[in-house]
Structure 1
Amino acid sequence: MQTSEMLALLALIVSVVAVGFSIRQGVVAGKANKHAAAAASGAYRHQPAPEHLWELGRYGEAIELVVTGLGHRAADNRDLLESWANRAEDFLSADSLDRMNLQQALAAWTGEAGDTAGAIALFRELLQDQIRIQGPDNPATLVARNNLAYWTGEAGDPVGALALGRELLQDQIRILGPDNPDTLRTRSNLASWTGQAGDTAGALAFFRELLQDQIRILGPDNPDTLATRGNLAYWTGQAGDTPGAIALCLDLLQDQVRILGPDNPATLATRSRLNRLLS
């Protein structure tokens, strides 16, 4: 119950039992306070849904609505999540999974807002909590390790990202299996970091091997399969084989238009890359 509702209820009780008030005065006071309580209740019901759920003590549902309702402005999302994370500290224990979900979103949007060092620090802290609470083999723990490796690479440290990614891949194969989509995505990240670390030929070899497995497991029209074909075209160009990169882009573009549509961001990216190669 909100403070305004409590005060209205107390006022109503006082108006009924106070000595010296007539029945008429009590009725008038009661009606006035009922209207005040109704107004307060109406204002309460029209609060944004996360606030409403939070005041009901349904913290997990409130956090889920906040995270899924974010917009496209990274800095705004980070600031909003930080305010909710500060609030959660006063209501949820450090072992709360809902609180960890909120922290994970905050870490990711911190990186998206340009603070890669801050994202890395938050993911390191979160990873320690997840290992302690959920165990090292929990899928959520593996996701946190993936995020830590990803933002290490985004911070300009592909060698560090490679080290983290290789350890992660071994555990993903053991826990999730070699054909799991998350395992395949880690292989894609490893291939990219290999190229960023200066081994273009190694990156191409990794992406070619990955593409064959993705076609077998996910199918040729899967967006991840198409993304690997885009990476193959990119690293072929980086290796100095412009005609080869153009041929790969032309083939990929036809399939992207058919599968994703001409205005899909991935389709537009391939078209832009092709234009640069042809210029």
Structure 2
Amino acid sequence: MAWWSKSDGRGSASVRESLRPLVALHTAAAAHLSADHTDAAVELFEVVLAGCQTQLGRTDPDTLTVAGNLGVALVAAGRWRDGIDRLVDNLVDRERALGEDDPRTLAACDALATAYRLAGHLDDAAELAARVTSERRRTLGPAHPDTLTSRMGMALTRAATGDVGSAATLLQAALNDAEQAHGPLHLHTIALRSNVAACHAVLGNARQATAVFERAGADSAALLGRDHPDTMAIYEDLADVNNPERLGILAGVPA
């Protein structure tokens, strides 16, 4: 699931018309990021951000969205320090412009927590993940898609510290809530199930991991198609069930 915003901008019709070229570039940048063409995404997001800052200002909500997406693209491109610095600045800007509890601020907080986890800054990741999960539980409920995303991130941070047993428990609880609220053929349910399977593999429960991966793969194929990249990724993980170090559960990449 994407940990960045696909928003193409809001505002009045006249503003949207004047920003049409930037909207098109943002759409192209998002497509590059989704396809893992990270360098191309970074280049286009930088152009869009400069245009938004000129036309809308630094703290306009649409400018803040693009700035956050640029930070994510930088992290995805392996430019960890640049990306995290950008995401930190973006969170501060959103807190000042929108307030600490605004959903868009919490989205930035969640993105920064994910970046910290992937970069191996696990204490920072855990602190932010707990903050955003608590607030989303309070305002949205435990089974809202945004809350489920935060709960999954918090559990994966726990796994990255080596506490895979606790992570599996947290993920299973979130999976139960997701399946009850949204059913099995839902992106969050499938992602949570796949991560539960990965935890079982790391814990040495290969048979259980295989069964859970197979269920996640079948559900993903039914929802997205067998050849969708997300479905293929689940089956690739299934093939590595006896090589859990390849599943990426235990640690991020050092910054």
For 2:218 and 2:129, locate their aligned partners in 1 and report how far apart those are by CA, in whole Å. Answer: 32
Q: Which residue of 1 aligns with 2:214?
A: 250
Q: Is the 8 A contact 1:207 1:228 kept in 2?
A: yes
Give 1:49-128 correspondences, 5 Å limit.
58-70=17-29, 71-72=31-32, 73-128=37-92
Question: Quick one: percent identity of the two aligned structures?
Answer: 26
Q: Which residue of 1 aligns with 2:239?
A: 275
Deviation sequence 1:115-135 (CA, Å, 0-9, x none) = 122111111111111111111
Q: Structure 2 counterpart of 1:235, which letter?
A: C
Q: Is the 8 A contact 2:67 2:90 kept in 1?
A: yes
For 2:40 and 2:166, locate their aligned partners in 1 and report how far apart those are by CA, in whole Å. Answer: 39
Q: Is the 8 A contact 1:246 1:274 kept in 2?
A: yes
Task: State the aligned residue count.
Answer: 224
Q: Give the structure, 1 or 2, with the largest relative contact order (CA under 8 Å, sep 6 or more).
A: 2
TM-score, with structure 2 as normaliser = 0.79
Q: Which residue of 2 aligns with 1:188?
A: 152
Distance 1:60 1:97, change over 3 A: farther
Distance 1:90 1:257, change over 3 A: closer
Displacement of 1:89 in angstroms is 3.9
Displacement of 1:137 in angstroms is 1.7
Deviation sequence 1:70-107 (CA, Å, 0-9, x none) = 24221122122223333444443333223222212221
Aligned to 1:178, the other structure's residue is in SS state coil
Q: Structure 2 counterpart of 1:191, which letter?
A: A
Displacement of 1:57 in angstroms is 9.0
What's the C-alpha RMSD, in Å, of the aligned pairs?
A: 2.2
For 1:108 and 1:154, locate their aligned partners in 2 and report how far apart those are by CA, in whole Å. Answer: 11
Distance 1:275 1:81, change over 3 A: closer
Q: Is the 8 A contact 1:159 1:197 kept in 2?
A: no
Q: Is the 8 A contact 1:137 1:175 kept in 2?
A: no
Distance 1:91 1:264, change over 3 A: closer
> Which stretches in structure 2 are left out of the alignment for 5+ residues?
1-14, 244-255
Give 1 or 2 for the bigger CA radius of gyration: 1
Deviation sequence 1:186-209 (CA, Å, 0-9, x none) = 001111111111101101111111
Distance 1:63 1:256, change over 3 A: same
TM-score, with structure 1 as normaliser = 0.73
Deviation sequence 1:211-257 (CA, Å, 0-9, x none) = 11001111111121111111111110100111221222233333333
Q: Which residue of 2 aligns with 1:29?
A: none
